Structure 1
């Protein structure tokens, strides 16, 4: 069974504490939430209470790679230990690196260096009972030695490194998202269900762009993915966006 969640980045423009955002997520009908930044703005106990009263599970959390590689500094409040501890208290078992700059995917050597970093983090997190995953945008689909960089990255990372395929960004990058999920089914833990209008080059509501949602959901099911995570990068009305996203996912899962 595939559960549905929402990436809290979708609600980032709302001036409300995380527990209130979780109330909105629960009301929209999702099964869980993928945390992003701002989690430390509210006491952990209040976040846990909001998860409980809304019947929400913690699907995963997006965490900057610097927080997993570095010790705390003035510029970086949390390091590895602090990050692992926080999300352990919130019941999160998968931490996702959400972004690496485009230059990390411009050459074979650069991709191999990323793979080494992710393998090292997977080792460190595995010792803490936590999984690591990587979330793509479109830069990972740049051609490297005649193939998309993401293919080299998957090939050169340990099987303990999972992948959270963002289908909208994969499409923008020139890939067939459903085929990508099919090809690497054993490595994909989560699917970011977003949509994109290729003509306008922007994020749109599910069903209003060029992503084949039914094909993506079917592939996610076949791959035994645990979570379909809804995200809209820049919704005009965030609450209407997550409500529409929840409906679209429910219809696609019927």
Structure 2
């Protein structure tokens, strides 16, 4: 899909208008609340990664999401753990042992307060992303799933590493909560299919741009075949043959076709924007993120 510069720039720093479509399993957006669900497809953000880091104060993070009129997230665990008093909060360094001890003692139920702040503002935490989960002890992995459930998430996500996916899959089955294994350019369909065979609740976080760049083909056949195991897709645009990240519509990634495939089949797959292309001169991340949301909106409403 090729949108004009005028079309892409219309909402550079403004809120995206609500689509008025009901969210499957979620209440309709209330007047004055954010709504980034278009034609039945939930568009979300990977945060705070999209804002340039992995940790951010909960209020600033929420404010940015509201400014972009986004109502669903893939949220990294760091802002939640900072809210709960993590020894790694506010940029402090904490050893794995310190984090393990803290996670064993913190009441996970306190995360309900974090959830309440977001849901009261109309923002749902659908997926919780964990960095470094493969280095965690079993008790910490249990904690990760409990924390995600407390936040109201329907899945967790982490990187894919076949040396460890079977172990994480066992915890996913235990908690009956999906884990979406995130793929990069070196991830092939066979990697995910191996993980699928290891556990019932093992799934895929298909990165559309990375798939195209690394596999030199469209991800649509894989999505069609395995849609029931896909927790969410990362929306970005890259060129084939390990090509760079580029503004939406300038690469080889079939963003429009993927979004419309999800729309037409009514699959409950979040389309999670992951912002990775260089910010153009004279612009900033918030302006560019607004453009990516508008690109998805127009693709879904066309």
TM-score by length of 1: 0.77
Describe the shift of the 1:193–1:70 C-alpha distance in structure 2 as closer, same or farther (beyond 3 A).
same
Structure 1 residue 48: Cα displacement: 2.7
Give the CA deviation at 1:130: 2.0
Deviations 1:7-26 (A, max 9, x none): 01111349841331222112
| Structure 1 pair 205–99 and aligned structure 2 pair: CA distance change class (3 A) | farther
1:125 aligns with 2:172: yes
Aligned alpha-carbon RMSD (Å): 2.8
Name the structure 2 match of 1:11.
51
Q: 1:207 maps to which residue?
A: 249
Question: Contact 2:179/2:231 (CA < 8 Å) preserved in 1?
Answer: no
Return closer, same or farther for 1:90/1:244 CA change in 2, 3 Å cut-off.
same
Unaligned 5+ residue runs, structure 1? 73-78, 101-112, 142-147
Deviation of 1:42 (Å): 2.3
| Distance in 1 (alpha carbons) for counterparts of 2:147 and 2:184 | 26
The answer for the alignment partner of 1:62 in structure 2 is 129
Indicate if the aligned counterparts of 1:181 and 1:223 stay in contact, CA closer than 8 A.
no
Instruction: Tell me which residue corresponds to 2:66.
Output: 26
Once the two structures are TM-superposed, the CA of residue 47 in structure 1 deviates from its matched residue by 3.5
State the Cα distance separating 1:228 from its structure 2 match: 0.8
Give, in whole Å, the separation in 2 of the partners of 1:15 and 1:60: 16
Q: Deviations over 1:34-91 (max 9, x none)?
A: 012422222446643541243111120221353585257xxxxxx2233223222221
1:223–1:162 CA distance, 2 compared to 1 (3 A): farther
User: C-alpha separation between the residues in 2 aligned to 1:4 and 1:58?
Assistant: 12
Tell me the equivalent position of 1:42: 83
**Count of residue pairs the alignment pairs up:** 228
Following superposition, the deviation at residue 121 of structure 1 comes to 2.3
Alignment of 1:2 onto 2:49: no
Structure 2 unaligned spans of 5+: 1-39, 85-110
Aligned with residue 177 of structure 1, among 201, 216, 219: 219
CA distance in 2, matches of 1:235, 1:37: 25
Query: Which residue of the partner structure matches residue 261 of structure 2?
Result: 219
Give me the whole-angstrom Cα distance separating, in 2, the residues matched to 1:38 and 1:234.
23
Of residues 44-53 and 186-195 in structure 1, the stretch that sits farther from structure 2 once superposed is 44-53
